[in-house]
Chain A
Amino acid sequence: EIVLTQSPGTLSLSPGERATLSCRASQSVSSSYLAWYQHKPGQAPRLLIFGASNRATGIPDRFSGSGSGTDFTLTISRLEPEDFAVYYCQKYGTSTGYTFGQGTKLEIK
């Protein structure tokens, strides 16, 4: 079973700063199968990135995804106040289905 490990667990930054979130897989994952979500309390999760680097519909271009193999990154170039939330990576496996990482909480410093 492929495990996704996100780091850091909590990231404290100020609006306007750059955020770099990491998602590491225990085995290689096809880029097509890697996605990122934003989740705020009391709301449904929101798809940000699919296929490791493709922005979902309506997602601002300050969000970008990169990586391949076992190492993937979500970057937010300039943090806006509404970006503070929990972020999850997710992978798909043909025999194991979908798996989420444990999440990174992005909080205001």
Chain B
Amino acid sequence: EVQLVDSGGDLVQPGGSLRLSCAASGFTFNTHSMHWVRQAPGKGLEYVSAINSNGDTTFYADSVKGRFTISRDNSRNTVYLQMANLRAEDTAMYYCARSEPGRFSFDYWGQGTPVTVSS
């Protein structure tokens, strides 16, 4: 059974840092691109970042470029989102998701981990 377990969300002050993790199981992790998507309170889904299967290609939404870094450890079946210089507008539920090779949609999602940026 495919499982994605998100963790690491917390309350952090503006300007602070946080690292989210997504532990994967039940599939061949190193053949899938992985993604982070967030949902701010009362808002819709917003795409955040992506990393390809071997980790050598990444993508960031303009809203997080230069502040967030996505990475993966294929030996640990885990993808990370390092968030720095956090702002109030980064407050959201953060979900990791996977895409199948050659497909442009997200077929499995984690349960989400909440990030609150507030003083």
Given A32-B104, A33-B104, A97-B59, the answer on whether A44 and B110 have CB atoms closer than 8 Å is: yes
Q: Once bound together, how far apart are the Cα atoms of A37 and B110, in whole Å?
A: 14
Interface size band for B: 20 to 34
Taken together as a complex, chains A and B put the C-alpha atoms of A47 and B110 apart, in Å, by 13
A47 to B103, CA, bound (A): 12
On chain A, the residues within 8 Å of B47 by CB distance are 90, 97-100
Cβ-defined partner of A44 (8 Å) among B35, B104, B105, B111: B111
- Cα A100 to Cα B106 in complex, Å, equals 12
Which residues of B sit under 8 angstroms from A39, Cβ to Cβ? 45
Interface string of A43-54 (1 = CB under 8 A from B): 111110011000
Structural contact, B44 and A98, CB atoms closer than 8 A: no
Considering the chains assembled together, what is the distance between the CA atoms of A33 and B112 in angstroms? Answer: 24
Instruction: Contact check, B109 vs A90: say whether CB atoms are below 8 A apart.
Output: no
Give every chain A residue within 8 A of B80 (Cβ-Cβ): none
Tell me if A102 and B44 are in contact (CB < 8 A): yes
Total count of chain A residues near the partner, CB < 8 A: 25
Q: Are B104 and A45 in contact, with the CB atoms below 8 A?
A: no
Which of chain B's residues have a CB closer than 8 A to the CB of A86?
44
Evaluate contact between A88 and B44: CB separation under 8 angstroms: yes
Contact assessment for B105 and A47 in the assembled complex, using a CB-CB cutoff below 8 Å: yes
B46 smallest CB distance to A (angstroms): 7
Query: What is the CA–CA distance of A4 and B109 in the complex, to the nearest angstrom?
Result: 22
What is the minimal beta-carbon distance from A95 to any residue of chain B, in angstroms? Answer: 10
> Shortest distance in angstroms between A56's beta carbon and chain B's nearest beta carbon?
6
A25 to chain B, nearest CB (A): 14
Residue contact B45 to A45, C-beta cutoff 8 Å: yes
Task: List, sorted by A's number, 20 A–B pairs whose CB atoms are closer than 8 Å.
Answer: A39-B45, A44-B95, A44-B109, A45-B106, A45-B109, A50-B103, A50-B104, A50-B105, A51-B105, A56-B107, A90-B47, A90-B105, A97-B47, A98-B35, A98-B47, A98-B50, A99-B47, A100-B37, A100-B44, A102-B44
Chain A residues in the interface with B (C-beta under 8 A): 32-33, 35, 37, 39, 43-47, 50-51, 56-57, 86, 88, 90, 92, 97-103
